[in-house]
C-alpha cells in the first residue's frame, strides 16, 4: 500500500510540474473559428451619439460614412470616418418611426428606409429620399405592400417587416425579415421617385434567419444580405433584379454580435456596423 501511495504521489507531482510549464500554451490557445471569419477586422467604436446603428452607407468623400439610429431615437444622420470620429450631425425634419437601413443611388441621393414593422401594425410605410447636398429638403416615397391583407392572421403577423434595402437602376429593393410562418424572406420593388406607391413582390428566398441589412457592389455584380453574425453573398449575379434566384455563399462573422448595417466600401470590401457600437471591415 505504501508503494502504491508513493507512486501516486510521484505521478501527481509530475503532472503538476508539466501543467506549470505548459499553462501559458493552454491559456493562450485561440478558440476554434470558421476560416470564413478570418477577414473580419474591427475598425473602431462608433461615436456615443450612435447608440443603435441600424444602417450604414458610404459618402462621395473617401473614408466618410453615414449612419443612423433605430426606432425610438432622433431623426438624425451621423457622418463619421473609419476611425469612428463623428464629423457632422444632420438633424432631419422627419419622423423616425422605425428607421432600419440606408442606401444611396448614383446621383448623390440617400434613401432612409423607415420600414420597421415588428408587430405588423403599420400598413403605410416610407422611404425618405435625401440629397447629400440638400439635407434640409427630404422627399417621401410612401408605400404599402401589394399583398398585405387588411386583417392579418397570427401566422402572417410578422411577414411585412423589412430591415434591408438597396438601390439599383432607379429601383429600390426591399427584403423582409425571414420570421413569418413560412420561413420566407420576400423581395419587393419600389420606384425611387417620391409619391405614393405599391411595393411589388418580386420573389422570395429562404435563409432561415432574419435579414437585417442589404447592399450591392459598385459594379452591381454582388448582392450582400446581412443577418446576425453572418453575410449571405450572391456573387456574379447576371441580373441584380433576380439575385435571389441563385444560391448564397454564407460567411460567418463570429464575435461581431448583432450585425445591423452593411455597405460596400469598394468592389472587394464590405463595411458593417453592429448594435454593440462597432464598425467592422470585411475583405472578400
CATH classification at residue 211? 2.120.10.30
User: Does residue 46 belong to any structural domain of this protein?
Assistant: yes
Residue 228 C-alpha cell reads as 446576425
pTM of the prediction?
0.84
In what order do the strands lie in the sheet containing 40-45? Answer: 40-45, 278-283, 269-274, 259-266
9 found inside a domain: no
The count of residues in the chain is: 284
Tally Cβ neighbours within 10 Å of residue 67.
Answer: 25
Q: What domain range includes position 73?
A: 36-283
Asked whether residue 18 is domain-assigned, the answer is no
| pLDDT value for 48 | 97
Evaluate whether residue 175 is within a structural domain: yes
Closest Cα partner for 70 from 35, 46, 43, 87? 46
Per-residue pLDDT 10s for the chain (284 aa) are 444 444 444 445 444 444 333 333 333 322 223 334 569 999 999 999 999 999 999 999 999 999 999 998 999 999 999 999 999 999 999 999 999 999 999 999 999 999 998 777 788 899 999 999 999 999 999 999 998 877 665 555 567 889 999 999 999 999 998 666 667 899 999 999 999 999 999 999 988 889 999 999 999 999 999 999 999 999 999 999 999 999 999 999 999 999 999 999 999 999 999 999 999 999 99
Is 17 a domain residue? no
User: Alpha-carbon torsion 202, 208, 210, 211, what sign?
Assistant: negative
On whether residue 182 sits in a domain, the answer given is yes
pLDDT at 269: 98
Does some domain include residue 228? yes
Number of domains in the chain: 1
Q: Which residues contact 38 (CB under 8 A, 6 or more apart)?
A: none
Residues 6+ away with beta carbon under 8 Å from 258: 212, 228, 229, 274, 275, 276
Domain-located, residue 15:
no
Looking at residue 19, its pLDDT comes to 38
Cα 261-88-59 angle, rounded to 5 deg: 50
Amino acid at each position: 500500500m505504501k508503494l502504491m501511495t508513493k507512486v501516486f504521489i510521484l505521478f501527481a507531482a509530475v503532472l503538476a510540474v508539466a501543467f506549470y510549464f505548459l499553462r501559458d500554451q493552454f491559456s493562450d490557445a485561440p478558440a476554434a473559428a470558421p476560416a470564413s471569419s478570418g477577414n473580419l477586422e474591427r475598425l473602431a467604436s462608433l461615436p456615443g451619439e450612435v447608440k443603435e446603428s441600424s444602417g450604414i452607407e458610404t459618402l462621395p468623400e473617401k473614408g466618410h460614412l453615414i449612419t443612423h439610429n433605430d426606432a425610438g431615437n432622433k431623426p438624425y444622420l451621423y457622418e463619421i470616418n473609419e476611425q469612428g470620429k463623428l464629423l457632422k450631425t444632420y438633424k432631419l425634419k422627419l419622423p423616425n418611426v422605425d428607421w432600419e437601413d440606408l442606401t444611396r443611388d448614383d446621383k448623390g441621393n440617400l434613401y432612409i428606409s423607415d420600414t420597421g414593422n415588428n408587430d405588423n401594425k403599420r400598413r403605410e410605410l416610407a422611404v425618405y429620399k435625401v440629397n447629400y447636398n440638400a439635407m434640409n429638403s427630404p422627399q417621401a416615397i410612401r408605400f404599402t405592400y401589394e399583398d398585405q391583407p387588411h386583417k392579418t392572421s397570427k401566422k402572417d403577423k410578422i411577414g411585412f417587416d423589412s430591415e434591408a434595402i438597396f438601390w439599383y437602376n432607379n429601383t429600390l429593393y426591399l427584403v423582409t425579415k425571414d420570421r413569418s410562418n413560412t420561413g420566407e424572406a420576400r423581395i419587393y420593388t419600389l420606384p425611387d421617385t417620391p409619391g405614393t406607391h405599391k411595393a411589388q413582390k418580386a420573389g422570395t428566398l429562404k435563409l432561415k434567419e432574419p435579414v437585417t441589412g442589404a447592399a450591392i457592389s459598385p459594379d452591381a455584380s454582388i448582392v450582400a444580405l446581412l443577418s446576425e453574425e453572418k453575410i449571405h453573398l450572391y456573387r456574379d449575379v447576371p441580373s441584380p433584379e433576380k439575385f435571389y434566384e441563385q444560391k448564397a455563399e454564407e460567411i460567418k462573422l463570429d464575435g461581431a454580435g448583432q450585425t445591423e448595417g452593411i455597405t460596400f466600401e469598394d468592389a472587394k470590401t464590405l463595411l458593417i456596423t453592429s448594435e454593440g457600437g462597432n464598425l467592422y471591415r470585411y475583405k472578400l
